Structure 1
């Protein structure tokens, strides 16, 4: 997982360490007013890599009402464009999660786990401009409320194909 903010003075250095498709996605978010973008699902191409852009208007919710999720074919670049704040839970997928719903073989490329009280879950707090990048081994729980009531958020998700980040090291794909 990578966590940052597009306003960070060291963003350029952070981006230089990322695979180009991920840095392109962050630059797209930085260079476009995503708070003003119409909601929906859109196809996007950055530097020749096809990606999916989701613009979602949601409300944060209590942690216990949300399910942990993972993706296998895509890397999720999640961005808080407005509203919030929002917390997101995360932990490493150790293979012990109990599957609640498996949609990995659908265009959504998502698997939901049942909540596991013993999961070593960490938290990050997102404010507008914050981004989190979740890899296939990162279980994540977005849209957690920070207090005791829901907050509206404009959440942007760019789905970056995992394969596009492995082109320099194709042998790594078999590891996943």
Structure 2
């Protein structure tokens, strides 16, 4: 997992696909974009623009992906995202859905929370269980952008 703010200069060199995704997030005015899917590099790198309302953490199921990296970016609002390493002992609530590339768990062990503010991003790899769109203090309308990066783009 990688956590940062889009305005900060990162001293690390990311793979080109992650850099391309972060550049998209950095240069797009999400106030002018409608919710939906935006292809950045076909279905290898694409963004989902979502308008959501946060909920209590216990109402959101932890999730993992196997074929894509999730880069979750908060355009506005506030949320917390639960995160933990996948120990493959978590109880599955909804088995892997290949078309959506997602497995849902009932809970996750050793969960920590990231506080997301506008401009924050978190990069979740296949071994990073995450529980997005959780209340920080109360239910809050948020706009988040989830950029999906196919693992094949990292080779």
- TM-score calculated relative to the size of structure 1: 0.83
Greater helix proportion: 1
Decide which structure has the larger Cα Rg and report it.
1
- For residues 3-42 of structure 1, the aligned pairs below 5 Å read 3-8=3-8, 10-11=9-10, 13-14=11-12, 17-42=13-38
Q: What is the TM-score with the length of structure 2 in the denominator?
A: 0.94
> Which of 121, 133, 143 is equivalent to 2:123?
133
Retained in 1: the 8 A contact 2:44–2:148? no
Quote the residue 2:55 is aligned against: 61
Q: How many Å separate the matches in 1 of 2:124 and 2:131?
A: 10
User: 1:36, 1:92 → 2: CA distance?
Assistant: 35
Counting matched residue pairs gives: 155
Q: Displacement, 1:160?
A: 0.1
Residue 75, structure 1, aligned to residue 75, structure 2 = no
Q: List runs of 5+ in structure 2 lacking aligned partners.
A: none
Root mean square deviation of aligned Cα? 1.5
The 1:110/1:89 distance shift into structure 2, 3 A limit, reads same
In structure 1, distance between residues paired with 2:97 and 2:149:
15
Question: Which ranges of structure 1 fall in alignment gaps of 5 or more residues?
Answer: 168-176
